[in-house]
Amino acid sequence: MISNQYTDQNQLYIALGYCVFMLLLGWLLKKFPPKKINHLYGYRTQKSMKNQVTWDAANKYSSLVFFNISLYSFFIPVVFYFLYPQLNVLITIVTNTLLLLYVLYATEKHLKTRFDAQGNPLD
């Protein structure tokens, strides 16, 4: 039978692996942003796809926020390893999902403060 210590450590490793995956994804989006508006890759919302200028701004900003949040997300599994080790993976995934929703919120707010409803830059 496997002891709880090994199970808890596995939870930690899986949760940290998830954070590594998110960090790599953020780095890829930051390093290789999509050049043209498309429906497959990049930050895709109605507001970001208005024109090439909003597309570029949205993808640049969202990848920066996503990468930075991914760096901070490494604290989640480490902290919860000591508080609730058996729920570490679940807590990490739920928290990272909420952080991804924050990326959406922050990017849309960023676009709203810099572009009008038609996607023209505000001066």
> Could you tell me the sign of the dihedral formed by the alpha carbons of 47, 49, 52, 55, in that order?
positive
- Does 120 map to a domain? no
pLDDT tens track of the chain, all 123 residues?
455 666 888 989 999 999 999 999 999 999 999 999 999 999 999 999 999 999 999 999 999 999 999 999 999 999 999 999 899 999 999 999 999 999 999 999 999 999 999 999 997
Instruction: State which residues form the domain around 68.
Output: 4-114
- Does 38 map to a domain? yes
Q: What is the pTM of this model?
A: 0.88
